[in-house]
Structure 1
Amino acid sequence: MLNKFTAAESLRVSDTEDISPRVSGLVKWFDPVKGFGFVVSDAGGPDILLHVNVLRNFGQSSVADGARVELEVQKTDRGVQATHVIALQPPETGESVGLSDIAALDPATVAAAPLEPARVKWFDKGKGFGFANVFGRRDDIFLHMEVLRRSGLSDLAPGEALALRVIQGKRGHMAAEVFAWEAALDTSDA
């Protein structure tokens, strides 16, 4: 199903503008319910449409506002659109709301935890948390919204495949880092 865009969202590109097929920029906003969002290029120019299908081809169904992305793009009669996500980095958070269970952890300790394959059991963005099941484990793994933000995600869908770095929190196992499974394959234990 194609989304309808308002006039403000459907920015036109003049024939004289030179748009590079490869662009780096920041996610302006992304709404997984609507199925699209926009990226602002570091080089300026019109906003770049980022459709959920392009993001899914990268292995994610959402992306956090302010995340840094590298994209392949194309000019269309409706504006500039992303055709392929090359790389994605979580937003720089500065002062973020800390979770007491992970606030004191050494980042090197978290990075040393193995990546474990998991599927989202459920996640409620409004509540700010959810749970995943790691293959081969009986207990649920707690997923907090702040951990998603730090990992560059904004929402999760039931059944979505992930790679998690799991720690023992005060109330049980919890994800300290969350990756799209496909992206984690490229960066894990290299």
Structure 2
Amino acid sequence: MNDMLDRQAEDRIELAGHVKWFDPAKGFGFIVPDDGGSDILLHANVLRNFGQNSVADGARIRILAQRTDRGIQAAVVLSLEPPADAPAVPLADFAEFDPEYLASRPLEPARIKWFDKAKGFGFANIFGTDDDIFLHVEVLRSSGLAELQPGEAVALRVIQGKRGRMATEILPWDAVLRRAPQEDAQ
């Protein structure tokens, strides 16, 4: 069994590209590789192993891919970045804030209370509090995500806005661990 797993790991190649589309309801989507060639299948389980349930169309992605009987498939997500066309400051609510201040807000662990993509918003709760944190769909998109599920664990950067506490960034729950070394270096 271990020999088979070792061979599978050896057969994987690192690729970069962008997400063509991903549908959480269908449980899959496709990646367009930078080097050209056929689209690469991105299964929901591979994305979940990275700590996300969705990804925005156009997001930059680095993966380990493997050839299967059905073609090339993503086996491991190495990194994700929001789409290049995602607005840096998506809402007028953030216009009065210095972008450096917004980026310096601590990442706080939270759970999604509910999110309705059609309505364009939802709410989360920071762990240990009952306070609702407003989540706007444009913040979700600029964070590189497409949807959120009730109970999903995330990391949020939060400000006190004119209409209450609101997220300025929504990241996978383990973003604190992945970003800590980078932020410590700054």
Above 0.5 in TM-score? yes
The answer on whether the counterparts of 1:73 and 1:81 sit within 8 Å (CA) in structure 2 is: yes
Q: Which of 23, 43, 53 is matched with 2:15 structurally?
A: 23
Gaps of 5+ in 2: 1-10
Deviation at 1:103, TM superposition (A): 3.2
Higher normalized helix content (fraction of residues): 2
The answer on whether the counterparts of 2:66 and 2:72 sit within 8 Å (CA) in structure 1 is: yes
CA displacement, residues 162-181 of structure 1 (integer Å, 9 cap, x when unaligned)? 11000111110000011101
Distance 1:94 1:143 in 2: 16
Which residue does the alignment assign to 2:64? 72
Alignment of structure 1 residues 1-190 onto 2, 5 Å = 21-93=13-85, 98-188=90-180, 189-190=183-184
Percent of residue pairs identical: 63
Structure-2-length-normalised TM-score: 0.87
Distance 1:123 1:77 in 2: 37
Structure 1 segments (4+ residues) deviating >6 Å: none
Greater shift, 94-103 or 156-165, is seen at 94-103
Secondary structure of residue in 1 paired with 2:45? helix
AA aligned to 1:85 is V
The answer on whether the counterparts of 2:125 and 2:131 sit within 8 Å (CA) in structure 1 is: yes
Secondary structure of residue in 2 paired with 1:26? strand
Indicate the RMSD between aligned Cα atoms, in angstroms.
1.7
Deviation at 1:117, TM superposition (A): 0.6
CA 1:103–1:31 in 2, change beyond 3 Å: closer, same or farther? farther
CA displacement, residues 16-72 of structure 1 (integer Å, 9 cap, x when unaligned)? xxx971100000001111110000000001000001100000000000000000000
The answer on whether the counterparts of 1:123 and 1:158 sit within 8 Å (CA) in structure 2 is: yes
Secondary structure of residue in 1 paired with 2:102? helix
The answer on whether the counterparts of 2:86 and 2:141 sit within 8 Å (CA) in structure 1 is: no
Distance 1:51 1:104 in 2: 40
AA aligned to 2:126 is V
AA aligned to 1:187 is R
Distance 1:92 1:138 in 2: 34
Structure-1-length-normalised TM-score: 0.85
Greater shift, 151-160 or 19-28, is seen at 19-28
Gaps of 5+ in 1: 1-18
Which residue does the alignment assign to 1:10? none
Aligned length: 172
